Structure 1
Amino acid sequence: MEQADAASQNATPGQARVTASVYSSHVPAIGAAVDHGKTGDDYWAPMFKGFEPSKDWMKKNTPDVIFLVYNDHATNFDLSVIPTFAIGTAAEFEPADEGYGPRPVPKVKGHPRLASHIAQSVIQQDFDLTIVNDLKVDHGLTVPLNLMFGSPAEWPCLVIPFHVNVVQYPVPSGARCFALGQAIRKAIESYDEPLNVQIWGTGGMSHQLQGPRAGLINAEWDNAFLDRLIADPKGLSTMPHIDYVREAGSEGIELVMWLIARGAMADVAGGNAPTVAHRFFHVPASNTAVGHLILENNL
Protein backbone atom coordinates (compact mmCIF):
# COMPACT_ATOMS: atom_id res chain seq x y z
CA MET A 1 0.00 0.00 0.00
CA GLU A 2 1.50 3.33 -1.05
CA GLN A 3 0.50 5.25 2.05
CA ALA A 4 1.66 2.51 4.40
CA ASP A 5 5.00 2.25 2.58
CA ALA A 6 5.55 6.01 2.82
CA ALA A 7 4.74 5.94 6.50
CA SER A 8 7.04 3.00 7.21
CA GLN A 9 10.02 4.81 5.71
CA ASN A 10 9.73 7.54 8.33
CA ALA A 11 8.24 5.70 11.29
CA THR A 12 9.97 4.10 14.23
CA PRO A 13 10.20 0.38 13.40
CA GLY A 14 7.49 -1.63 15.09
CA GLN A 15 5.24 1.31 15.99
CA ALA A 16 1.75 2.08 14.72
CA ARG A 17 1.28 5.25 12.69
CA VAL A 18 -1.58 7.51 11.62
CA THR A 19 -1.25 7.60 7.84
CA ALA A 20 -4.30 9.62 6.83
CA SER A 21 -7.51 11.23 8.01
CA VAL A 22 -10.84 10.94 6.23
CA TYR A 23 -13.83 13.25 6.73
CA SER A 24 -17.35 12.46 5.60
CA SER A 25 -21.00 13.20 6.26
CA HIS A 26 -23.02 10.22 7.50
CA VAL A 27 -26.51 11.07 6.21
CA PRO A 28 -28.93 8.16 6.94
CA ALA A 29 -30.66 8.55 3.58
CA ILE A 30 -27.36 7.70 1.89
CA GLY A 31 -27.48 4.34 3.62
CA ALA A 32 -31.05 3.84 2.47
CA ALA A 33 -30.02 4.62 -1.13
CA VAL A 34 -27.28 1.99 -0.88
CA ASP A 35 -29.54 -0.59 0.72
CA HIS A 36 -32.34 -0.16 -1.81
CA GLY A 37 -30.20 0.01 -4.96
CA LYS A 38 -30.87 3.68 -5.70
CA THR A 39 -27.26 4.90 -5.99
CA GLY A 40 -27.64 5.29 -9.76
CA ASP A 41 -30.87 7.30 -9.58
CA ASP A 42 -30.77 10.83 -10.99
CA TYR A 43 -31.02 12.30 -7.50
CA TRP A 44 -28.26 10.23 -5.93
CA ALA A 45 -25.82 9.58 -8.76
CA PRO A 46 -23.95 12.94 -8.53
CA MET A 47 -23.36 12.46 -4.82
CA PHE A 48 -22.04 8.92 -5.15
CA LYS A 49 -19.90 9.92 -8.14
CA GLY A 50 -18.04 12.32 -5.86
CA PHE A 51 -16.86 9.36 -3.78
CA GLU A 52 -15.55 7.30 -6.71
CA PRO A 53 -12.05 8.86 -6.45
CA SER A 54 -12.16 8.05 -2.73
CA LYS A 55 -12.87 4.38 -3.41
CA ASP A 56 -9.95 4.26 -5.83
CA TRP A 57 -7.70 5.94 -3.26
CA MET A 58 -8.85 3.55 -0.56
CA LYS A 59 -7.99 0.50 -2.67
CA LYS A 60 -4.39 1.74 -2.79
CA ASN A 61 -4.34 2.90 0.83
CA THR A 62 -6.44 0.39 2.75
CA PRO A 63 -5.42 0.67 6.41
CA ASP A 64 -5.10 -2.08 8.97
CA VAL A 65 -7.37 -0.19 11.37
CA ILE A 66 -9.80 2.72 11.14
CA PHE A 67 -10.39 4.78 14.26
CA LEU A 68 -13.84 6.06 13.34
CA VAL A 69 -15.30 9.06 15.15
CA TYR A 70 -19.08 9.30 14.94
CA ASN A 71 -22.12 9.96 17.11
CA ASP A 72 -24.63 7.41 18.29
CA HIS A 73 -28.21 8.29 17.32
CA ALA A 74 -30.01 7.05 20.46
CA THR A 75 -29.15 3.48 19.54
CA ASN A 76 -26.94 2.75 22.55
CA PHE A 77 -27.16 5.99 24.51
CA ASP A 78 -30.39 7.80 25.31
CA LEU A 79 -31.31 10.47 27.83
CA SER A 80 -30.70 8.03 30.68
CA VAL A 81 -26.96 7.77 29.94
CA ILE A 82 -25.03 10.08 27.60
CA PRO A 83 -21.23 9.73 27.65
CA THR A 84 -19.34 12.62 26.12
CA PHE A 85 -16.66 10.33 24.68
CA ALA A 86 -16.99 6.53 24.42
CA ILE A 87 -14.64 4.00 22.82
CA GLY A 88 -15.75 0.58 21.57
CA THR A 89 -13.33 -2.09 22.75
CA ALA A 90 -15.15 -5.25 21.61
CA ALA A 91 -14.01 -7.72 18.96
CA GLU A 92 -17.23 -7.32 16.95
CA PHE A 93 -20.00 -4.76 16.55
CA GLU A 94 -23.40 -5.71 15.13
CA PRO A 95 -25.36 -3.27 12.91
CA ALA A 96 -28.08 -1.62 14.97
CA ASP A 97 -31.81 -1.71 14.41
CA GLU A 98 -32.69 1.97 13.99
CA GLY A 99 -36.41 1.36 13.71
CA TYR A 100 -36.56 -0.41 10.36
CA GLY A 101 -34.35 -3.42 11.06
CA PRO A 102 -30.54 -3.63 11.01
CA ARG A 103 -28.92 -2.37 7.82
CA PRO A 104 -27.83 -5.21 5.48
CA VAL A 105 -24.14 -4.43 5.94
CA PRO A 106 -21.30 -6.61 7.25
CA LYS A 107 -20.58 -6.96 10.92
CA VAL A 108 -17.87 -4.52 12.02
CA LYS A 109 -14.77 -6.21 13.42
CA GLY A 110 -12.82 -4.32 16.06
CA HIS A 111 -9.27 -4.31 17.41
CA PRO A 112 -9.67 -4.81 21.17
CA ARG A 113 -5.95 -4.62 21.98
CA LEU A 114 -5.37 -1.32 20.18
CA ALA A 115 -8.67 0.11 21.47
CA SER A 116 -7.75 -0.77 25.05
CA HIS A 117 -4.28 0.70 24.58
CA ILE A 118 -5.76 3.94 23.25
CA ALA A 119 -8.19 4.10 26.17
CA GLN A 120 -5.36 3.58 28.67
CA SER A 121 -3.13 6.19 27.03
CA VAL A 122 -5.82 8.82 26.46
CA ILE A 123 -7.21 8.51 29.99
CA GLN A 124 -3.69 8.95 31.34
CA GLN A 125 -3.54 12.14 29.24
CA ASP A 126 -6.50 13.37 31.32
CA PHE A 127 -9.35 12.69 28.90
CA ASP A 128 -12.21 10.79 30.53
CA LEU A 129 -13.45 8.06 28.18
CA THR A 130 -16.31 5.64 28.66
CA ILE A 131 -15.18 2.12 27.74
CA VAL A 132 -17.93 0.17 25.97
CA ASN A 133 -17.63 -3.58 25.53
CA ASP A 134 -21.13 -4.11 24.12
CA LEU A 135 -21.97 -1.69 21.32
CA LYS A 136 -24.19 -1.76 18.25
CA VAL A 137 -23.19 0.56 15.40
CA ASP A 138 -25.69 2.69 13.52
CA HIS A 139 -25.64 4.67 10.26
CA GLY A 140 -23.23 7.19 11.73
CA LEU A 141 -20.51 4.58 11.39
CA THR A 142 -21.71 2.33 8.57
CA VAL A 143 -22.61 5.00 5.99
CA PRO A 144 -19.03 6.36 5.77
CA LEU A 145 -17.78 2.78 5.36
CA ASN A 146 -20.18 2.33 2.42
CA LEU A 147 -19.03 5.57 0.84
CA MET A 148 -15.36 4.57 1.00
CA PHE A 149 -15.63 0.81 0.38
CA GLY A 150 -18.93 0.28 -1.41
CA SER A 151 -20.88 -2.82 -0.36
CA PRO A 152 -18.38 -5.64 0.18
CA ALA A 153 -19.24 -8.99 1.75
CA GLU A 154 -16.86 -8.07 4.57
CA TRP A 155 -15.27 -4.77 5.58
CA PRO A 156 -11.60 -4.92 4.47
CA CYS A 157 -10.12 -3.58 7.71
CA LEU A 158 -10.72 -3.46 11.43
CA VAL A 159 -12.65 -0.55 12.96
CA ILE A 160 -12.53 1.05 16.41
CA PRO A 161 -15.79 2.97 17.00
CA PHE A 162 -15.45 6.22 18.93
CA HIS A 163 -18.68 7.96 19.96
CA VAL A 164 -18.94 11.70 20.67
CA ASN A 165 -22.04 13.27 22.18
CA VAL A 166 -23.20 15.96 19.76
CA VAL A 167 -26.90 15.30 20.33
CA GLN A 168 -27.68 16.45 23.88
CA TYR A 169 -26.17 19.62 25.32
CA PRO A 170 -23.69 20.17 26.82
CA VAL A 171 -21.46 18.88 24.02
CA PRO A 172 -17.64 19.09 23.89
CA SER A 173 -15.98 22.16 22.44
CA GLY A 174 -14.04 22.16 19.21
CA ALA A 175 -10.88 22.92 21.15
CA ARG A 176 -11.45 19.91 23.41
CA CYS A 177 -12.02 17.66 20.39
CA PHE A 178 -8.92 19.02 18.65
CA ALA A 179 -6.80 18.35 21.74
CA LEU A 180 -8.32 14.87 22.04
CA GLY A 181 -7.20 14.11 18.49
CA GLN A 182 -3.65 14.95 19.49
CA ALA A 183 -3.90 12.61 22.48
CA ILE A 184 -5.22 9.83 20.24
CA ARG A 185 -2.29 10.27 17.85
CA LYS A 186 0.16 9.94 20.74
CA ALA A 187 -1.65 6.83 21.91
CA ILE A 188 -1.51 5.20 18.50
CA GLU A 189 2.15 6.05 18.01
CA SER A 190 3.00 4.37 21.32
CA TYR A 191 1.46 1.05 20.26
CA ASP A 192 4.10 -1.62 19.59
CA GLU A 193 2.84 -3.06 16.33
CA PRO A 194 3.50 -1.66 12.83
CA LEU A 195 -0.13 -0.85 12.06
CA ASN A 196 -1.36 1.52 9.37
CA VAL A 197 -4.14 3.48 11.12
CA GLN A 198 -6.51 6.03 9.63
CA ILE A 199 -8.61 8.47 11.67
CA TRP A 200 -12.06 9.24 10.31
CA GLY A 201 -14.20 12.17 11.41
CA THR A 202 -17.86 11.93 10.42
CA GLY A 203 -21.12 13.90 10.61
CA GLY A 204 -22.18 17.30 9.30
CA MET A 205 -22.13 19.39 7.29
CA SER A 206 -24.71 22.19 7.65
CA HIS A 207 -28.19 20.93 8.43
CA GLN A 208 -31.10 21.46 10.78
CA LEU A 209 -33.81 18.89 11.32
CA GLN A 210 -36.43 20.83 13.27
CA GLY A 211 -37.87 24.25 14.05
CA PRO A 212 -38.39 27.28 11.79
CA ARG A 213 -34.99 26.77 10.12
CA ALA A 214 -35.52 23.08 9.29
CA GLY A 215 -33.78 22.34 5.99
CA LEU A 216 -31.12 25.02 6.46
CA ILE A 217 -28.01 24.50 4.28
CA ASN A 218 -25.15 27.02 4.20
CA ALA A 219 -22.84 25.94 1.39
CA GLU A 220 -20.61 29.01 1.61
CA TRP A 221 -19.96 28.44 5.32
CA ASP A 222 -19.41 24.71 4.77
CA ASN A 223 -16.72 25.31 2.17
CA ALA A 224 -15.05 27.93 4.34
CA PHE A 225 -14.98 25.31 7.12
CA LEU A 226 -13.24 22.87 4.76
CA ASP A 227 -10.71 25.56 3.82
CA ARG A 228 -9.87 26.22 7.46
CA LEU A 229 -9.85 22.53 8.36
CA ILE A 230 -7.04 22.10 5.84
CA ALA A 231 -5.06 25.28 6.45
CA ASP A 232 -5.93 26.55 9.94
CA PRO A 233 -7.23 23.69 12.10
CA LYS A 234 -6.00 25.19 15.37
CA GLY A 235 -7.77 28.49 14.69
CA LEU A 236 -10.88 26.64 13.55
CA SER A 237 -10.94 24.67 16.80
CA THR A 238 -11.58 27.86 18.78
CA MET A 239 -14.90 28.51 17.03
CA PRO A 240 -17.65 28.70 19.70
CA HIS A 241 -20.71 26.46 19.61
CA ILE A 242 -23.03 29.34 18.83
CA ASP A 243 -21.27 29.92 15.51
CA TYR A 244 -21.92 26.34 14.44
CA VAL A 245 -25.59 26.61 15.40
CA ARG A 246 -26.09 30.05 13.86
CA GLU A 247 -24.31 29.35 10.58
CA ALA A 248 -24.65 25.59 10.09
CA GLY A 249 -27.90 24.76 11.91
CA SER A 250 -28.58 22.88 15.10
CA GLU A 251 -27.04 19.66 13.76
CA GLY A 252 -24.02 21.44 12.31
CA ILE A 253 -22.34 20.97 15.69
CA GLU A 254 -21.49 17.45 14.49
CA LEU A 255 -18.52 19.02 12.73
CA VAL A 256 -16.57 19.20 16.00
CA MET A 257 -16.00 15.47 15.42
CA TRP A 258 -13.95 16.33 12.34
CA LEU A 259 -11.59 18.25 14.61
CA ILE A 260 -10.69 15.02 16.44
CA ALA A 261 -9.46 13.51 13.19
CA ARG A 262 -7.66 16.72 12.20
CA GLY A 263 -5.95 16.96 15.58
CA ALA A 264 -4.38 13.55 14.96
CA MET A 265 -2.45 14.73 11.90
CA ALA A 266 1.32 15.18 11.95
CA ASP A 267 1.42 18.90 11.13
CA VAL A 268 -0.46 19.72 14.33
CA ALA A 269 2.52 18.33 16.25
CA GLY A 270 5.05 20.30 14.19
CA GLY A 271 5.31 17.94 11.21
CA ASN A 272 4.73 18.55 7.53
CA ALA A 273 1.44 19.82 6.16
CA PRO A 274 -0.84 17.05 4.89
CA THR A 275 -1.55 16.37 1.23
CA VAL A 276 -5.13 16.86 0.08
CA ALA A 277 -5.88 13.62 -1.77
CA HIS A 278 -9.53 14.44 -2.50
CA ARG A 279 -12.12 17.08 -1.65
CA PHE A 280 -15.82 16.96 -2.46
CA PHE A 281 -18.95 18.90 -1.55
CA HIS A 282 -22.52 18.25 -2.67
CA VAL A 283 -25.96 19.75 -2.04
CA PRO A 284 -28.38 18.26 -1.25
CA ALA A 285 -28.53 14.74 0.07
CA SER A 286 -31.85 14.39 1.80
CA ASN A 287 -32.04 17.68 3.76
CA THR A 288 -28.32 18.15 4.34
CA ALA A 289 -25.08 19.18 2.70
CA VAL A 290 -22.48 16.45 2.16
CA GLY A 291 -18.82 17.25 2.74
CA HIS A 292 -15.83 14.99 2.20
CA LEU A 293 -12.07 15.30 2.50
CA ILE A 294 -9.05 12.98 2.49
CA LEU A 295 -5.79 14.21 4.00
CA GLU A 296 -2.61 12.14 3.74
CA ASN A 297 -0.06 12.44 6.48
CA ASN A 298 3.43 13.43 5.32
CA LEU A 299 5.47 11.72 8.02
Structure 2
Amino acid sequence: MARITASVYTSHVPAIGAAMDLGKTHEPYWQPMFAGYDFSRQWLRDNTPDVILMVYNDHATAFSLDVIPTFALGTAAEYQPADEGWGPRPVPRVLGHPELASHIAQSVIQQDFDLTIVNKMDVDHGLTVPLSLMCGEKDPLKDAWPCPVIPLAVNVVQYPVPSGQRCLNLGRAIRKAVETFDQDLKVQIWGTGGMSHQLQGARAGLINKAWDNRFLDLLVENPVGLSQVPHIEYVREAGSEGIELVMWLIARGAMADVDQARPLPRVLHRFYHVPASNTAVGHLILENPA
Protein backbone atom coordinates (compact mmCIF):
# COMPACT_ATOMS: atom_id res chain seq x y z
CA MET A 1 0.00 0.00 0.00
CA ALA A 2 1.22 3.50 -0.81
CA ARG A 3 1.15 6.03 2.01
CA ILE A 4 1.60 9.74 2.58
CA THR A 5 4.53 10.18 4.92
CA ALA A 6 4.84 13.96 5.11
CA SER A 7 3.58 17.27 3.77
CA VAL A 8 5.67 20.27 2.80
CA TYR A 9 4.42 23.85 2.52
CA THR A 10 6.32 26.65 0.86
CA SER A 11 5.96 29.88 -1.07
CA HIS A 12 6.86 29.79 -4.75
CA VAL A 13 7.96 33.38 -5.41
CA PRO A 14 9.31 33.64 -8.99
CA ALA A 15 12.14 35.96 -7.91
CA ILE A 16 13.48 33.12 -5.73
CA GLY A 17 14.01 31.05 -8.85
CA ALA A 18 15.67 33.98 -10.59
CA ALA A 19 18.00 34.51 -7.60
CA MET A 20 19.06 30.86 -7.79
CA ASP A 21 19.43 30.85 -11.57
CA LEU A 22 21.56 34.02 -11.50
CA GLY A 23 23.79 32.95 -8.60
CA LYS A 24 22.49 35.54 -6.12
CA THR A 25 21.64 33.23 -3.20
CA HIS A 26 24.55 34.44 -1.04
CA GLU A 27 23.84 38.12 -1.51
CA PRO A 28 22.82 39.89 1.74
CA TYR A 29 19.22 40.37 0.58
CA TRP A 30 18.68 36.70 -0.25
CA GLN A 31 20.96 34.80 2.14
CA PRO A 32 18.64 34.86 5.21
CA MET A 33 15.77 33.49 3.16
CA PHE A 34 17.72 30.64 1.63
CA ALA A 35 19.21 29.79 5.04
CA GLY A 36 15.68 28.95 6.16
CA TYR A 37 15.74 25.98 3.78
CA ASP A 38 19.07 24.49 4.88
CA PHE A 39 17.32 22.07 7.26
CA SER A 40 14.75 21.21 4.61
CA ARG A 41 17.29 20.26 1.97
CA GLN A 42 19.07 17.90 4.32
CA TRP A 43 15.75 16.47 5.51
CA LEU A 44 14.68 15.78 1.92
CA ARG A 45 17.99 14.06 1.19
CA ASP A 46 17.45 11.87 4.26
CA ASN A 47 13.75 11.29 3.54
CA THR A 48 13.50 11.20 -0.24
CA PRO A 49 10.03 9.97 -1.21
CA ASP A 50 9.16 7.76 -4.12
CA VAL A 51 6.74 10.37 -5.47
CA ILE A 52 5.86 14.01 -4.73
CA LEU A 53 2.33 15.26 -5.38
CA MET A 54 2.80 19.00 -5.97
CA VAL A 55 -0.17 21.32 -5.40
CA TYR A 56 0.51 24.62 -7.13
CA ASN A 57 -1.12 27.21 -9.37
CA ASP A 58 -0.34 27.82 -13.00
CA HIS A 59 0.38 31.45 -13.94
CA ALA A 60 -1.23 31.60 -17.41
CA THR A 61 1.34 29.31 -19.02
CA ALA A 62 -0.27 25.87 -19.30
CA PHE A 63 -3.74 27.41 -19.02
CA SER A 64 -4.87 30.79 -20.29
CA LEU A 65 -8.07 32.63 -19.39
CA ASP A 66 -9.66 30.77 -22.31
CA VAL A 67 -9.68 27.53 -20.31
CA ILE A 68 -9.66 27.66 -16.50
CA PRO A 69 -9.85 24.27 -14.76
CA THR A 70 -10.47 24.43 -11.03
CA PHE A 71 -8.39 21.31 -10.34
CA ALA A 72 -6.10 19.88 -13.06
CA LEU A 73 -4.10 16.71 -12.44
CA GLY A 74 -1.08 15.94 -14.58
CA THR A 75 -0.88 12.32 -15.74
CA ALA A 76 2.03 12.66 -18.19
CA ALA A 77 5.38 10.87 -18.07
CA GLU A 78 7.30 14.16 -18.09
CA TYR A 79 6.88 17.94 -18.03
CA GLN A 80 9.16 20.61 -19.46
CA PRO A 81 9.88 23.89 -17.62
CA ALA A 82 7.63 26.58 -19.09
CA ASP A 83 8.73 29.71 -20.92
CA GLU A 84 7.08 32.48 -18.89
CA GLY A 85 8.25 35.26 -21.20
CA TRP A 86 12.00 35.23 -20.57
CA GLY A 87 12.81 31.65 -21.50
CA PRO A 88 12.41 28.43 -19.49
CA ARG A 89 14.24 28.21 -16.17
CA PRO A 90 17.55 26.32 -16.49
CA VAL A 91 16.35 23.37 -14.41
CA PRO A 92 15.82 19.68 -15.22
CA ARG A 93 12.65 18.40 -16.80
CA VAL A 94 10.12 17.01 -14.33
CA LEU A 95 9.41 13.30 -14.56
CA GLY A 96 5.86 12.25 -13.73
CA HIS A 97 4.34 9.07 -12.33
CA PRO A 98 1.50 8.20 -14.75
CA GLU A 99 0.45 5.05 -12.89
CA LEU A 100 -0.15 6.71 -9.53
CA ALA A 101 -1.55 9.85 -11.16
CA SER A 102 -4.09 7.84 -13.14
CA HIS A 103 -5.07 5.92 -10.01
CA ILE A 104 -5.56 9.18 -8.08
CA ALA A 105 -7.68 10.55 -10.91
CA GLN A 106 -9.89 7.44 -10.97
CA SER A 107 -10.28 7.36 -7.19
CA VAL A 108 -10.83 11.09 -6.64
CA ILE A 109 -13.37 11.39 -9.46
CA GLN A 110 -15.25 8.43 -7.98
CA GLN A 111 -15.31 10.45 -4.74
CA ASP A 112 -17.20 13.16 -6.67
CA PHE A 113 -14.36 15.58 -7.45
CA ASP A 114 -14.42 16.73 -11.07
CA LEU A 115 -10.75 16.78 -12.02
CA THR A 116 -9.40 17.93 -15.34
CA ILE A 117 -6.99 15.28 -16.65
CA VAL A 118 -3.91 16.78 -18.33
CA ASN A 119 -1.76 14.51 -20.47
CA LYS A 120 0.55 17.25 -21.74
CA MET A 121 1.61 20.57 -20.21
CA ASP A 122 4.61 22.67 -19.26
CA VAL A 123 5.13 23.60 -15.62
CA ASP A 124 6.01 27.11 -14.50
CA HIS A 125 7.68 28.63 -11.43
CA GLY A 126 4.76 27.58 -9.24
CA LEU A 127 6.13 24.04 -9.45
CA THR A 128 9.83 24.46 -10.23
CA VAL A 129 10.65 27.04 -7.52
CA PRO A 130 9.55 24.74 -4.66
CA LEU A 131 11.65 21.95 -6.15
CA SER A 132 14.66 24.28 -6.36
CA LEU A 133 14.17 25.50 -2.79
CA MET A 134 13.98 21.98 -1.40
CA CYS A 135 16.54 20.32 -3.69
CA GLY A 136 19.06 23.07 -4.42
CA GLU A 137 20.58 24.16 -7.70
CA LYS A 138 20.41 21.59 -10.49
CA ASP A 139 22.19 21.43 -13.84
CA PRO A 140 19.51 20.65 -16.44
CA LEU A 141 22.02 18.70 -18.55
CA LYS A 142 23.59 16.61 -15.78
CA ASP A 143 21.15 16.45 -12.87
CA ALA A 144 17.63 15.25 -12.16
CA TRP A 145 15.06 15.96 -9.48
CA PRO A 146 15.21 13.32 -6.73
CA CYS A 147 11.93 11.60 -7.59
CA PRO A 148 8.90 11.75 -9.89
CA VAL A 149 6.40 14.59 -9.39
CA ILE A 150 2.66 14.59 -10.02
CA PRO A 151 1.42 18.15 -10.68
CA LEU A 152 -1.96 19.27 -9.32
CA ALA A 153 -2.75 22.74 -10.63
CA VAL A 154 -5.43 24.70 -8.76
CA ASN A 155 -7.16 27.83 -10.03
CA VAL A 156 -6.48 30.64 -7.57
CA VAL A 157 -6.04 33.26 -10.29
CA GLN A 158 -9.49 33.85 -11.77
CA TYR A 159 -12.58 33.92 -9.54
CA PRO A 160 -14.52 31.84 -8.63
CA VAL A 161 -11.79 29.87 -6.86
CA PRO A 162 -12.35 26.80 -4.66
CA SER A 163 -13.19 27.25 -1.01
CA GLY A 164 -10.95 26.22 1.85
CA GLN A 165 -13.45 23.47 2.71
CA ARG A 166 -13.36 22.11 -0.83
CA CYS A 167 -9.56 22.09 -0.78
CA LEU A 168 -9.37 20.32 2.57
CA ASN A 169 -11.84 17.70 1.34
CA LEU A 170 -9.82 17.18 -1.84
CA GLY A 171 -6.80 16.45 0.34
CA ARG A 172 -8.83 13.85 2.20
CA ALA A 173 -9.86 12.25 -1.08
CA ILE A 174 -6.26 12.21 -2.29
CA ARG A 175 -5.11 10.44 0.87
CA LYS A 176 -7.76 7.74 0.35
CA ALA A 177 -6.65 7.39 -3.25
CA VAL A 178 -2.99 7.02 -2.36
CA GLU A 179 -3.75 4.44 0.32
CA THR A 180 -5.56 2.23 -2.20
CA PHE A 181 -2.69 2.18 -4.70
CA ASP A 182 -1.24 -1.32 -4.87
CA GLN A 183 2.45 -0.42 -4.81
CA ASP A 184 4.52 0.20 -1.70
CA LEU A 185 5.33 3.87 -2.26
CA LYS A 186 6.30 6.67 0.10
CA VAL A 187 4.46 9.79 -1.07
CA GLN A 188 4.88 13.39 0.02
CA ILE A 189 2.30 16.06 -0.76
CA TRP A 190 3.47 19.65 -1.12
CA GLY A 191 1.24 22.71 -0.86
CA THR A 192 2.72 25.83 -2.45
CA GLY A 193 1.99 29.51 -2.99
CA GLY A 194 1.47 32.48 -0.65
CA MET A 195 1.96 33.84 1.90
CA SER A 196 0.56 37.36 2.18
CA HIS A 197 1.25 39.49 -0.87
CA GLN A 198 -0.44 41.81 -3.31
CA LEU A 199 1.05 42.57 -6.69
CA GLN A 200 -1.07 45.48 -7.87
CA GLY A 201 -3.35 48.35 -6.86
CA ALA A 202 -3.23 50.70 -3.92
CA ARG A 203 -2.15 47.94 -1.52
CA ALA A 204 0.69 46.58 -3.70
CA GLY A 205 3.44 45.28 -1.43
CA LEU A 206 1.08 44.38 1.44
CA ILE A 207 2.53 41.92 3.97
CA ASN A 208 0.68 40.87 7.13
CA LYS A 209 3.09 39.02 9.42
CA ALA A 210 0.58 38.50 12.23
CA TRP A 211 -2.06 36.99 9.93
CA ASP A 212 0.50 34.78 8.17
CA ASN A 213 1.79 33.31 11.42
CA ARG A 214 -1.73 32.78 12.73
CA PHE A 215 -2.45 30.90 9.51
CA LEU A 216 0.56 28.65 10.15
CA ASP A 217 -0.62 28.01 13.72
CA LEU A 218 -4.10 27.02 12.57
CA LEU A 219 -2.80 24.94 9.68
CA VAL A 220 -1.00 22.74 12.18
CA GLU A 221 -3.46 22.78 15.06
CA ASN A 222 -6.92 23.29 13.55
CA PRO A 223 -7.07 22.73 9.79
CA VAL A 224 -10.81 22.02 9.87
CA GLY A 225 -11.46 25.40 11.49
CA LEU A 226 -9.06 27.08 9.06
CA SER A 227 -10.98 25.60 6.14
CA GLN A 228 -13.97 27.77 7.13
CA VAL A 229 -12.12 31.06 6.61
CA PRO A 230 -13.93 32.88 3.77
CA HIS A 231 -12.21 34.18 0.66
CA ILE A 232 -12.84 37.79 1.65
CA GLU A 233 -10.66 37.37 4.74
CA TYR A 234 -7.74 36.10 2.67
CA VAL A 235 -8.08 39.09 0.35
CA ARG A 236 -8.56 41.63 3.15
CA GLU A 237 -5.83 40.36 5.46
CA ALA A 238 -3.32 38.68 3.12
CA GLY A 239 -3.74 40.64 -0.12
CA SER A 240 -5.20 39.71 -3.46
CA GLU A 241 -2.63 36.94 -4.05
CA GLY A 242 -2.90 35.62 -0.49
CA ILE A 243 -5.74 33.43 -1.69
CA GLU A 244 -3.04 31.02 -2.93
CA LEU A 245 -2.88 29.76 0.66
CA VAL A 246 -6.08 27.72 0.19
CA MET A 247 -3.87 25.28 -1.74
CA TRP A 248 -2.01 24.49 1.48
CA LEU A 249 -5.28 23.04 2.80
CA ILE A 250 -5.18 20.34 0.11
CA ALA A 251 -1.83 19.14 1.43
CA ARG A 252 -3.00 19.45 5.04
CA GLY A 253 -6.22 17.54 4.33
CA ALA A 254 -4.13 14.61 3.09
CA MET A 255 -2.50 14.14 6.50
CA ALA A 256 -3.67 11.23 8.62
CA ASP A 257 -5.09 13.16 11.58
CA VAL A 258 -7.70 15.18 9.69
CA ASP A 259 -10.47 12.59 9.67
CA GLN A 260 -8.87 9.72 11.54
CA ALA A 261 -8.21 9.24 15.25
CA ARG A 262 -4.53 10.09 14.91
CA PRO A 263 -2.26 12.55 16.74
CA LEU A 264 -1.41 15.86 15.10
CA PRO A 265 1.50 15.60 12.66
CA ARG A 266 4.96 16.41 13.95
CA VAL A 267 6.25 19.86 13.05
CA LEU A 268 9.77 19.15 11.82
CA HIS A 269 10.54 22.65 10.57
CA ARG A 270 8.87 26.05 10.50
CA PHE A 271 10.26 29.17 8.85
CA TYR A 272 8.92 32.62 8.03
CA HIS A 273 10.75 35.48 6.35
CA VAL A 274 10.03 38.87 4.78
CA PRO A 275 10.64 40.25 2.32
CA ALA A 276 11.42 38.21 -0.76
CA SER A 277 10.53 40.41 -3.71
CA ASN A 278 7.85 42.22 -1.65
CA THR A 279 6.37 38.87 -0.61
CA ALA A 280 6.19 36.97 2.65
CA VAL A 281 7.81 33.53 2.54
CA GLY A 282 6.38 30.77 4.71
CA HIS A 283 7.54 27.18 5.06
CA LEU A 284 6.52 24.12 7.07
CA ILE A 285 7.37 20.43 7.09
CA LEU A 286 4.85 18.14 8.78
CA GLU A 287 5.38 14.42 9.27
CA ASN A 288 2.74 11.78 9.89
CA PRO A 289 3.47 9.80 13.08
CA ALA A 290 4.60 6.26 12.34
* Per-residue deviation, 1:75: 0.2
Instruction: Spell out structure 1 runs of 4+ moving beyond 3 A.
Output: none
- The answer to whether structure 1 residue 97 and structure 2 residue 83 are counterparts is yes
Corresponding residue of 2:93: 107
Give the aligned CA root-mean-square deviation in angstroms: 0.5
Letter of the structure 2 residue corresponding to residue 235 of structure 1: G
Letter of the structure 2 residue corresponding to residue 57 of structure 1: W
Q: What are the equivalent positions in structure 2 for 1:22-101 lying under 5 Å apart?
A: 22-101=8-87
Corresponding residue of 1:293: 284
Corresponding residue of 2:268: 277
Corresponding residue of 1:159: 149
Q: Structure 2: how far apart are the matches of 1:287 and 1:84?
A: 27
* Per-residue deviation, 1:78: 1.0
Q: Structure 1: how far apart are the matches of 2:218 and 2:110?
A: 30
Letter of the structure 2 residue corresponding to residue 228 of structure 1: L
TM-score by length of structure 2 reads 0.98
Q: Structure 2: how far apart are the matches of 1:268 and 1:227?
A: 15
SS, match of residue 39 in structure 2: helix
Corresponding residue of 2:174: 184
Corresponding residue of 2:6: 20
Percent identity between matched residues is 74
Q: Structure 1: how far apart are the matches of 2:68 and 2:274?
A: 31
* Per-residue deviation, 1:287: 1.2
Corresponding residue of 2:102: 116
Corresponding residue of 1:125: 111
* Per-residue deviation, 1:151: 1.7
Query: What per-residue deviation string (whole Å, max 9, x for no partner) do you get for residues 202-234 of structure 1?
Result: 000000001100000001100000000000000
- The answer to whether structure 1 residue 204 and structure 2 residue 199 are counterparts is no
Q: What are the equivalent positions in structure 2 for 1:197-276 lying under 5 Å apart?
A: 197-270=187-260, 271-276=262-267
Q: Structure 2: how far apart are the matches of 1:78 and 1:209?
A: 19
Letter of the structure 2 residue corresponding to residue 277 of structure 1: L
List runs of 5+ in structure 2 lacking aligned partners: none
* Per-residue deviation, 1:269: 2.2
List runs of 5+ in structure 1 lacking aligned partners: 1-14
TM-score by length of structure 1 reads 0.95
* Per-residue deviation, 1:76: 1.1
Q: Structure 2: how far apart are the matches of 1:56 and 1:92?
A: 26
Q: Structure 1: how far apart are the matches of 2:231 and 2:180?
A: 32
- Aligned pair count? 285
Q: Structure 2: how far apart are the matches of 1:42 and 1:131?
A: 43
Q: Structure 2: how far apart are the matches of 1:148 and 1:227?
A: 22
SS, match of residue 259 in structure 1: helix
* Per-residue deviation, 1:254: 0.1
SS, match of residue 265 in structure 1: coil
